[in-house]
Amino acid sequence: MNAKLFTGNMKTMKNLFYTICALFAMTATAQQTPAPAQTGIYTIMNATAHIGNGEVIDNSIIVLENGTITAIADATVVKMDIKGERIDASGMHVYPGLIAMNATIGLVEIDAVNASSDVREMGTYNPHIRSIIAYNAESKVIESMRPNGVLIAQIVPRGGRISGKSSVVQLDAWNWEDASIRTDEGVHVNWPSSFRRTGTWYEPGPIEPSKDYEKQVTELTDFLNNAKAYNATTKPVGLNLKYAALQPAINGTENFYIHVDGEKAIRDVLKFIKANGIKKPVIVGGREGDKVATELVAMNIPVLAGRVHGLPSREDEDFDMPYKFPKLLADKGVMVGLENSGDMERHQTRNFPFYAGTVAGYGMDMEQALKMITLTPAQILGIDKEYGSLEQGKSATLFISKGNALDMRGNQITRAFIDGRDISLNSHQTELYERYMNKFGAEIKR
């Protein structure tokens, strides 16, 4: 090829590339700017306060100062001077910020674009992988969580037998350092499946026992025993990051999350926990866990119940089992929170309040259902001294809703605060809503 022609083509391509980038930059919508630290005082008056621990104050007064709830009381009993900005929330409801458990928001932006996905690593055993490092605080998916009241999330890696470590973040930050509430709070293990379905997705065959199940359980046990031996050695030969990363979970300073479903597999997990002296186990998913609830209670093991808006796991199971499953566990004394793993899980995270609402619709007390996405997750994560409920001295992380926040019709949030910061509730979706409502001359009502 002629050198001049080649050079000219390269310049043309470069100019075209720059033009495309400029057009994209002009049309792209930026993430909302994180709110500044709280400077003034907010006093929320006359709202129904849903504490998060099962209690309700029908006519409340809540004072937010320096990022903290400095006072919360029944306004009909306790008289206080109004400080700072008075927020009249008459006829409205106040809730603690909802906590999304077992989430992957911020780890993937577009599922179809591999370059935007950092949700899993290669290899089978990766306890040293830290999800917080990959967390993108400026993800456009994250800003769509806040308008529904989801203000805190547990960010969890996926894949392999041991996926890595999860961290807890608040959802209004410049970067992962600013977002972090608690880093590396637990390691995640994907328990081998004891059964497998034959056939294909479009023509499934019968379910049969997995031939490799016992082998895979033995491999996991051996890996854990090797990690124990390595960490018990004063001067191990060579540095093994994978074994070293398991030490906090072995010592009980981090949670040991085991993702497992099915009665047989859960029973095997309980034997595994006892045999290996795991100090802070948590069952994730836990389908059919109601059949071993007595053992779970005796061993003080909490369960993050699988996605409520899902299908039954067996052909002979009640059609509404996913809806009532959390209540079945709770009625037997199991400590229960909700989680969301599954198809389209990043975007579905915004539905956490409605998962709790569905559980309430199938017999659970509304305030106890709320507790499954507020105080209980905070207790499991070890952040309940600061988050999870509306109590004096805790973080001012809460929101105001016109109606019942666990109901799709009532969830209309007017204000939200994270650590006392008055955060934006705008998102790409709200901008499109306002744009097209204005286009047709309709009055926007929120």
pLDDT tens-digit readout, 321-343: 999 999 999 999 999 999 999 88
CATH code for the part of the protein at 32-96+388-446: 2.30.40.10
Strand locations in 122-231, DSSP E? 150-155, 162-170, 180-190, 195-199, 204-209
pLDDT digits (tens, 9 = 90+) for 408-421: 999 999 999 999 99
pLDDT the model gives residue 207: 78
Joined tokens for residue 427: 């998102």
Which pLDDT belongs to residue 217? 95
Please answer whether residues 174 and 439 qualify as being in contact, where contact means their C-beta atoms are separated by less than 8 angstroms: no
Q: Which residues pair with 120 in a beta bridge?
A: 158
Report the DSSP beta bridge partners of residue 437. none
Query: Dihedral of CA 154/157/161/162: which sign?
Result: negative
Confidence band (pLDDT; 50, 70, 90) for 27?
A: very low
Q: What local confidence, expressed as pLDDT, does residue 15 receive?
A: 54
Mean of the pLDDT values across residues 242-263? 95
Which H helix or E strand runs over 377?
helix 375-381
- Average pLDDT of every residue of the chain: 90
Categorize the per-residue pLDDT at 84 as very low, low, confident or very high, splitting at 50, 70 and 90. very high
Q: What is the pLDDT of residue 10?
A: 53
For the domain covering 98-387, report its CATH number.
3.20.20.140
* Mean predicted confidence (pLDDT) in 62-87: 92
3-state secondary structure of 202: coil
* Residues 129-154 pLDDT 10s: 999 999 999 999 999 999 999 999 99
The candidate with the shortest Cα–Cα distance to 304, out of 362, 255, 250, is 255
The pLDDT of residue 396 is 97
The continuous run of DSSP H or E covering 258 comes out as strand 255-260
Segment 49-61 mean pLDDT = 96
Residue 354's nearest CA partner among 149, 172, 155 is 149
Residue ranges of alpha helices (H) inside 332-374 are: 345-348, 352-361, 366-371
Does residue 397 surpass a pLDDT of 70? yes
Can you spell out the DSSP letters for 64-82? EETTEEEEEEETTT-----
Q: How far is CA 147 from CA 106, 403, 409, 411, 423, in A?
A: 17, 13, 13, 9, 10
Please check the confidence at residue 25 and state whether its pLDDT lies above 70. no
Would the pLDDT of 19 be above 50? no
Decide if pLDDT at 243 tops 50: yes
Segments making up each domain of the chain, as ranges? 32-96+388-446, 98-387
203 versus 319: the higher-pLDDT residue is 319
Distance (Å, whole) CA 51 – CA 65 = 18
Q: What is the pLDDT of residue 7?
A: 46
How does residue 12 score in pLDDT terms, banded at 50, 70 and 90?
A: low
The mean pLDDT of 248-274, rounded to a whole number, is 95
**pLDDT over 70 percentage in the chain:** 92
Q: Which residues pair with 100 in a beta bridge?
A: 153
In this prediction, residues 80-105 reach a mean pLDDT of: 94
The per-residue pLDDT for 332 is 96
Question: Which pLDDT score is estimated for 11?
Answer: 55
Which has more confidence, 437 or 11?
A: 437
Burial zone of 209 (CB within 10 Å; 0-12 exposed, 13-18 middle, 19+ buried): exposed
Average pLDDT over residues 285-314: 94
Please report, rounded to a whole number, the percentage of residues in the chain having pLDDT higher than 90. Answer: 73
pLDDT of residue 28: 46
DSSP 96-118: EPEEEEEE-BTTBS-TT-GGGB-
Buried b (16+ CB within 10 A) or exposed e, 175-192: ebeebbbbbbbbbbbbbb
What SS3 class is residue 144?
A: coil
Q: Give dist(CA 298, CA 307) in Å, integer.
A: 25
**Is the predicted pLDDT of residue 93 greater than 50, yes or no?**
yes
> Do the Cβ atoms of 397 and 390 come closer than 8 Å?
no
Q: What is the pTM of this model?
A: 0.89
Q: Exposed, middle or buried: residue 244 (CB in 10 Å: 0-12, 13-18, 19+)? A: middle
> Helix, strand, or coil here: 182?
strand
> Does residue 352 contact residue 338 with C-beta atoms inside 8 Å?
yes
The pLDDT confidence band at residue 210, using thresholds 50, 70 and 90, is confident
Other CB atoms within a 10 A radius of the CB of residue 89 amount to 21
17 close to 26: Cβ distance less than 8 angstroms: no
Q: Which pLDDT score, from 0 to 100, does residue 30 have?
A: 52
